[in-house]
A and B are shown apart, each in its own frame.
Chain A
Amino acid sequence: MLDRLYPYVVRIAAALFALLFLTPVFWMLSLSLTPEGGSLFAGGFNVSFDNYKTVLSRAPIFGWMGNSLVVSAVTTALVLLLASMAAYSFSRIRFPGSKVLFVLFLSAMMIPGEATLIPLYLLMRDVDLLGTRVSLILPAIAGPMGIFILKQFFDGLPKDLEEAARIDGAGFFKIWYRIFLPLSRPALAALGIFTFIGSWNDYVWPLISISDKAYMTITLGLPMFQSSYNQEYALPMTANALAAIPVLIVFLIFQKQIIKGIAFTGGKEM
């Protein structure tokens, strides 16, 4: 009896959990679409975009998102470029000392970014990069995870792929960008998604490096804007919605690839 009911119990429980998980997001949208103290469902379904207009006139939300976009996109592009080059070299060329270097990079994966906050702050200050968007990009590229993930992927590609190209006289560099890069698109996409989300959501390093409002990322600017509202909720929630909606739209469009990418990279991590 219990056994026959089990599939239904699981379905109902899963649906309830899903609703529970979606509630905060729906509630965010509902607060943002109604005036302070109002309710979306009081007196019919009254939608107003006034909060959005007010928030956009008071805070450079789009500017912050632009900063986040530039920082995350440049970080991701550079990580993919540098990590795939290095991973290819480690996987296929193996110069003297390459194994030692790879192990050194690998062991650096255990070092938390939080341990380098102080020295990075001091070093960036010394070279006058503190407070710039560049200061947000540079340390993120130094993470070795990409090399590890791509090397594993490259190691799995069959050797005879490049043998033919070698016979035709192609050099290692050419083989990398003509054969390896196109073949590893799924792995690059997965790593790219992982890197982009990580960079977009970084909070502690921007908090320390950036003080000029104009260079803030959305993750940093949002709480700063919200901190001036104490007993009001509609405007802070609208700012949340503004920051979340583009991310959620991108997520919903590419959800399959994003979830796969996170599972792939996360599962390979360390």
Chain B
Amino acid sequence: MATQTLAGRKKTGAPARAPRSSLRRQGWVTGVLMVLPYTIFFLLFSLIPILYGFGVSFYDWSLLGDKTFIGLQNYVNLMQDEEFHANLLNTVLFTAVSVPLITGAGLLLAVMVNSIRKGQAFLRISFFMPYVLSVSVISSIWVIFLQPYTGLLNRVLRGIGLIDSEIFWLSDSTLAWASIIMATLWWTIGFVFVLFLAGLQDIPESFYEAAGLEGANRWQTFRYITFPSLSRVTVLVVVLQTIASFKIFGQSKLITGGGPAGATKTVVFSIYENGFQTFQMGYASAIAFVLMLVILVISLLQTLLLRRFGE
């Protein structure tokens, strides 16, 4: 019955639509023309560079010298390059520490702020404000903030009796990473915080009323109502944070200069140094390609996870 009606409609619809087919073609032309400007930029500054970069990664190419095809040699060298391994490990460790920390802290702040009505705007502004500053500004603030003797952090720690000798934050590799993580937390938590806050405000009040009727306590409400309702946002935040952490460069370049003794160099730092300080274009391209693969894998994992948790 239903198919019959559909077929009938199709039949009666067909002659009516026939004269419009020229309009439809016009529509296609407009459609193509409207996509075209962006497509040109996409080809020139995204697709072609990627393919070109992939091609370059098979060459030994110092910018000033010759360009020789060496096949997979750059990738083979990459597997034996201890400095690259160290930088990759640094990046992975930074990601492993900063992502749970910033995600957890962002969630905590969002849950706190969500339960406060009076003064919520002030809290939102305070936590989000550092995010609008540039990496240069926040890095410089933190470098000065962390100075021994003159920096505010050491002075406060000494003032409240937590330390009795100066901490040289940027001279020890662990402390240097701690500094970068603190600065990154301060700078980017606002982003995580507003995503969670928006997620919290989307949870229907009725969920909580039901939990209240069941006599759930605060922790149980969070564990069984709030947190599961945020699963989509959480996956999104974790993935965005993971990708951003993998690409860390500015903080390490500007806060520690990669030091002490290269301890805070990262993967993008490797691209920067090999590409623009020793001008090994092929080798740097190989590193960039590895970075891209890692990020592709994370993105695909996200798609899978979102399909499981979302909707």
Contact = CB atoms under 8 A, between A and B. Distances in A.
Interface of A: 3, 6-7, 10-11, 13-15, 17-19, 21-25, 27-28, 31, 81-83, 85-86, 88-90, 93-96, 98, 101, 105, 108-112, 114-123, 138-139, 141-144, 147, 171-173, 176, 197, 200-201, 203-204, 207-208, 218-220, 222-223, 226, 233, 236-237, 239-240, 243-244, 247-248, 251-252, 255-256, 258-259, 262-264, 266-267, 269-270
A259 B191 CA distance: 9
A259 B128 contact: yes
A98 B31 contact: yes
Contact of B291 (A114, A200, A237): A114
A244 B137 contact: yes
Contacts of B239: 270
Contact of B45 (A3, A138, A251): A138
B137 A222 contact: yes
A18 B275 CA distance: 41
Nearest to A222: B136
Nearest to A247: B132
A260 B130 CA distance: 16
A139 B45 contact: yes
Contact of A118 (B37, B46, B130, B281): B281
Interface residues of B, number: 93
B125 interface: yes
Contacts of A31: 144
Contact of A223 (B47, B127, B136, B288): B136
B44 to A, nearest CB: 7
Contacts of B292: 111-112, 115
Pairs A-B, 7 closest by C-beta atoms: A93-B31, A142-B45, A18-B126, A119-B49, A119-B53, A115-B292, A110-B299
A266 B194 contact: yes
Given A83-B38, A240-B141, A21 B302 contact: no
Interface string B30-50: 111011011101101111111
Contacts of B124: 255, 259
State the main secondary structure of chain B at its contact with A: helix
B126 A86 contact: no
B249 A204 contact: yes
Given A10-B115, A259-B194, A270-B239, A115 B53 contact: yes
22 contacts: A14-B116, A15-B123, A21-B129, A31-B144, A86-B37, A95-B28, A101-B35, A111-B295, A114-B271, A116-B288, A121-B276, A122-B281, A123-B48, A123-B52, A141-B45, A143-B46, A144-B46, A201-B134, A207-B253, A207-B272, A236-B144, A267-B195
Contact of A233 (B150, B197, B302): B150
B140 interface: yes
Contact of B140 (A138, A147, A226, A251): A226
* Residue among A18, A23, A28, A239 with the highest chain B CB neighbour number at 10 A: A18
A53 to B, nearest CB: 20
B83 to A, nearest CB: 18
Contacts of B113: 14
Contact of A138 (B41, B50, B122): B41
Contacts of B218: 3, 6
A255 B31 contact: no
B207 interface: no
Contacts of A267: 195, 198-199, 233, 236
Contact of A243 (B26, B136, B246): B136
State the main secondary structure of chain A at its contact with B: helix
Nearest to B113: A14
A197 B116 contact: no
B8 interface: no
Given A119-B53, A122-B56, A218-B136, A82 B37 contact: yes
B120 to A, nearest CB: 9
B225 interface: no
Given A111-B46, A112-B243, A115-B53, A203 B135 contact: yes
Given A115-B291, A263-B197, A173 B116 contact: no
B254 interface: yes
B194 A262 contact: yes
Contacts of A200: 134
